[in-house]
Structure 1
């Protein structure tokens, strides 16, 4: 493999990891603060993508499409928390899983009713439609670099929010002792709604950003949700830092595994067999990574016992 191709695949892994971070950050906050297993988080990713595609189709503005994805997903998340999730906090995890699975079906059928069964397409903004020349003569899509930059900026903003703001202090306290902060006068119901809306907004933004690379279609959030759960297990439940590190590890492992493993097996196997075996192992690589992390650190890389 050439150096240029390797660097391109590393950048692809970073872009994939950053997208997973936007999904996993909200999911880990929701689980860490509320103790809630939210299977419908992928549906909020889908809501953001469809909102962005609809607004871009009407206005032609990608910026407005991103804003719409944030607002629509956050509003949908707040509404879901107020109407459904709020009744599940005192229930066991099985009830939470069943209720949020029902929400997946409701969101999927509702989206299909509004937009139809055919996929929508979100165009890459003209300014980022072409490649960028990087050092070493590497040409790389400008839009993928934009996704990496947006994701890292949001990660920095989340770190600042959690570490330096009043709401961040309340979120960290809520992860440690919800009963205590309620006793100190914090409106725990309001805090839960804010956290849920924040997580939903980040998922919606991720859906909009990826929607310009892939098609926007019903059910697009479920495969990403599985990977987001892998990320928060690796990084540690409730940890934003863990979500970022875990997402980058998963993104790089998945992307590089798909390229390097077939080549590795190709050194001692015929090409067709090497491709089949390498691709199969590559699809398993992130779960092997998760198992390895849990073997040595059951709480995840940055999780607390």
Structure 2
């Protein structure tokens, strides 16, 4: 592998890892703070991809569709927590798994009824539909670089909110001791709904910006869900920083695994998880 090909694979690894981070960070917030095992989180990623397809078709531009989709995602997440997830906090994990798996079936059936089972494509906005030259005879798509830039901006915004704002202080405290937070007069019900809506919006955003690259197809949420749980376990439950580090690790392992060891590439991320858990059973970082 020459240096140009190596650089392109590194860019692919970072882009895939950062995209994973968007989905996994929402999952680790919901799992780490609310204590709910949400198997339906991958469906939010699928929802984002189908929202990109539908809204881009209506507006004619993905750049307009993405902000609209995020607003709809926040409203949808807030309502979903109020109607369904607010009843799961005192239930055991088996009931959480059963109900969230039921939501997967509901979302898949609604998707089939409303959009159908065909594979769809989402056009890249014309302003981003280009490529940058790398080396003498290779190029790299501008849109993929934009995906990485958006993910980095979201990661920076999340760091600022969680570390520098009152809301972030409440989120970190809720992840550590929710009873103490409630005893201090903080409305935990509203806090949980905000956290859940944020988690849904992150997954939807990931699905929307990934749609032009990966296309839109049935069952796409199930594939990303398993990898996201691996990210959460490796990074540490409830740790956004851990989700970022673990996502980038998985991005490099998966991408270069497919380049150098294609037959066993699917096993490498789970082997990485096993090695890290043997070293640090609680994950790389603590919650926060």
Distance 2:168 2:153 in 1: 17
Q: TM-score, normalised by structure 1?
A: 0.91
Instruction: Name the structure 1 match of 2:156.
Output: 156
CA contact (8 A) 2:242 2:284 kept: yes
CA contact (8 A) 2:4 2:135 kept: no
Instruction: Name the structure 2 match of 1:215.
Output: 215
Instruction: Name the structure 1 match of 2:16.
Output: 16
Counterpart secondary structure, 1:132: strand
CA contact (8 A) 1:52 1:68 kept: no
Instruction: Name the structure 2 match of 1:132.
Output: 132
Alpha carbons of structure 1 residues 78 and 218: separation in structure 2 relative to 1, 3 Å = farther
CA contact (8 A) 2:234 2:283 kept: yes
Shift of 1:59: 1.1
Distance 1:213 1:300 in 2: 31
Counterpart secondary structure, 1:213: helix
Gaps spanning 5+ residues in structure 2: where?
none
Correspondence 1:237 to 2:246: no
Instruction: Name the structure 1 match of 2:266.
Output: 283
Counterpart secondary structure, 1:237: coil
Gaps spanning 5+ residues in structure 1: where?
262-278
Instruction: Name the structure 1 match of 2:48.
Output: 48
Q: TM-score, normalised by structure 2?
A: 0.97
Distance 2:133 2:185 in 1: 55
Distance 2:241 2:135 in 1: 29
CA contact (8 A) 1:25 1:240 kept: yes
Instruction: Name the structure 2 match of 1:271.
Output: none
Distance 1:137 1:182 in 2: 60
- Structure with max Cα Rg: 1
Distance 1:51 1:99 in 2: 24
Deviations 1:1-30 (A, max 9, x none): 111111111111111101100000000011
Counterpart secondary structure, 1:107: helix
Alpha carbons of structure 1 residues 136 and 167: separation in structure 2 relative to 1, 3 Å = farther
Shift of 1:134: 4.4
Counterpart secondary structure, 2:124: coil
Correspondence 1:35 to 2:35: yes
Instruction: Name the structure 2 match of 1:103.
Output: 103
Distance 2:165 2:188 in 1: 17
Instruction: Name the structure 1 match of 2:91.
Output: 91
Residues 183-202 of structure 1 correspond to what in structure 2 (within 5 A)?
183-202=183-202
Counterpart secondary structure, 2:44: helix
CA contact (8 A) 1:19 1:206 kept: yes
More displaced stretch, 42-51 vs 197-206: 42-51
CA contact (8 A) 2:20 2:247 kept: yes
Distance 2:62 2:246 in 1: 29
Distance 1:246 1:90 in 2: 30
Choose from 273, 280, 283 the match for 1:297. Answer: 280
Instruction: Name the structure 1 match of 2:25.
Output: 25
Report runs of 4+ in structure 1 exceeding 4 Å deviation.
Answer: 134-138
More displaced stretch, 108-117 vs 285-294: 108-117
